[in-house]
Amino acid sequence: MLEHEIQQAIVTLLTDSGLVEGLSEDNFHDRVEFQPLVADGSSRRFIRVFCDLKPCCLGVVPASSSARDFDEFRSALAIGRHLGRKGIPVPEVLAADSRLRLILFEDLGDLRLHSQLKGETESSLRPLYHDVIETLIKMQIDGAEDFDQNWCYDTETYDLSVMIERESGYFYEAFWKDTLFAEEVDGLTAEFTQLAHLAMDHFEPLFLHRDFQSRNIMLKDGQVRIIDFQAGRIGPPGYDIASLLIDPYAGLSGPLQEELLDYYLGRLSLCNGLDVGRVKSSYPYLAVQRNLQIIGAFAFLSGKKRKQFFSQFLMPSLVMLQNRLADPLFDDFPVLRRTVAESIRLFRSRFSARVHSKKKIA
């Protein structure tokens, strides 16, 4: 897609939708400015649009014109509108161009939960995380109501294939093999399958964001807002609360994680028709699943995508996974425990060697 074509499409949407009064092809050069933004792990492009020197909206376009990118555009549009209708605090969909897969969203600014955490004490974080958890529960409950699974571009539900191929398999391929260059581990895939089945045994289906972490939670005018929801589907609520609590960007302490989990379960118990006991039982398994996915994603992004920002979170994520697997609940996963311990040893030795090599060159 040509840059000029994208800019022209944004101006056309602004004009046709009436978002900017008096805008025309004759004066937009003087009134509209475009600022490309750096994306996190996404391959999509983000463009902040200024009108008359004020932030106006955020343009989002895919990296390519592939069928999958079109499906992701369609999901972002449909799920965003659905969540907005349900009163979930997502950015408003202002306009869209299906030919270019372009969506104009409400601009929520730059303040993420991740940024807000810096310098805060745990006591000051509690009310903020309580607000986030209340918003999460509303999204899980109300977002599931009237949700059309045909909107999903990836899979309709969070299922065994997602867990084994996209999470534990992601860890195995992107981190264990491609980052550590380690060999096959006998019995590991069998334990991955066992883990996935245990998580499925405690399935209480609601709306699942699947990447509910501090860099996808915005704060605007003191209110929690949720972004990056296009991979939403039906799934277990324990996964999203695990994503929030074990989030390596935030680095919450173990005691605070447990306290916030109790708060979440207590608030969830007020919702009629939900078996909170099943949600609680699923949490440890889903937390491991999420942890494996995080490590796979960080390895892929820092390695194949060369986005070094993510490499700093690999070791904390590994240690967090090792600590969780030490629970007697995971005594039946000796191969996974050994593999994670070996991962930490190999990663430490190779990271230390890389740092030492850089110092020698300097």
* Domain final residue, candidates 79, 105, 131: 105
In this prediction, residue 4 carries a pLDDT of 84
**70 and 126 in one domain?**
no
In this prediction, residue 362 carries a pLDDT of 47
CA–CA separation, 234 and 51 (whole Å): 38
Instruction: Give the tens place of pLDDT for each residue, 53-70.
Output: 899 999 999 988 899 999
Instruction: Check: CB of residue 104 under 8 Å from CB of residue 16.
Output: no
CA torsion through residues 168, 174, 175, 181, sign? positive
In this prediction, residue 354 carries a pLDDT of 61
- What is the count of structural domains for the chain? 2
CA–CA separation, 94 and 14 (whole Å): 9
Instruction: Give the tens place of pLDDT for each residue, 205-233.
Output: 899 999 999 999 999 999 999 999 999 99
Instruction: Check: CB of residue 280 under 8 Å from CB of residue 268.
Output: no
- Which residue range(s) make up the domain with 287? 113-361
**215 and 95 in one domain?**
no
Check whether 3 has a pLDDT greater than 80: yes
**167 and 128 in one domain?**
yes
* Domain final residue, candidates 84, 105, 126: 105
Rounded to 10 deg, the angle between the 254-268 and 237-245 helix axes is: 150
**206 and 352 in one domain?**
yes
* Domain final residue, candidates 64, 88, 105: 105
Instruction: Give the tens place of pLDDT for each residue, 112-163.
Output: 999 999 888 888 999 999 999 999 999 999 999 999 999 999 899 999 999 9
Instruction: Give the tens place of pLDDT for each residue, 242-278.
Output: 999 999 999 999 999 999 999 999 999 999 889 999 9
DSSP-assigned states of every residue in 82-133:
HHHHTT--PPPEEEEETTTTEEEE----S-BHHHHTTT--HHHHHHHHHHHH
**101 and 228 in one domain?**
no
**349 and 208 in one domain?**
yes
> CATH code at 229?
3.90.1200.10
The mean of the pLDDT values for the chain is: 93
**In 125-282, at which residue ranges do the beta strands (DSSP E only) sit?**
206-208, 217-220, 223-226, 233-235
Query: Sorting pLDDT into bands at 50, 70 and 90, what band is 359?
Result: very low
CA–CA separation, 159 and 162 (whole Å): 5
**277 and 221 in one domain?**
yes
**138 and 90 in one domain?**
no
**161 and 294 in one domain?**
yes
Instruction: Check: CB of residue 196 under 8 Å from CB of residue 163.
Output: yes
CA–CA separation, 228 and 29 (whole Å): 30
**223 and 165 in one domain?**
yes
> CATH code at 57?
3.30.200.20
**128 and 13 in one domain?**
no
Joined tokens for residue 312? 């700093």
Tell me how many degrees the CA angle 354-342-280 measures, rounded to the nearest 5. Answer: 120
CA–CA separation, 77 and 94 (whole Å): 10
Quick one: average pLDDT of 80-106?
97
**135 and 64 in one domain?**
no
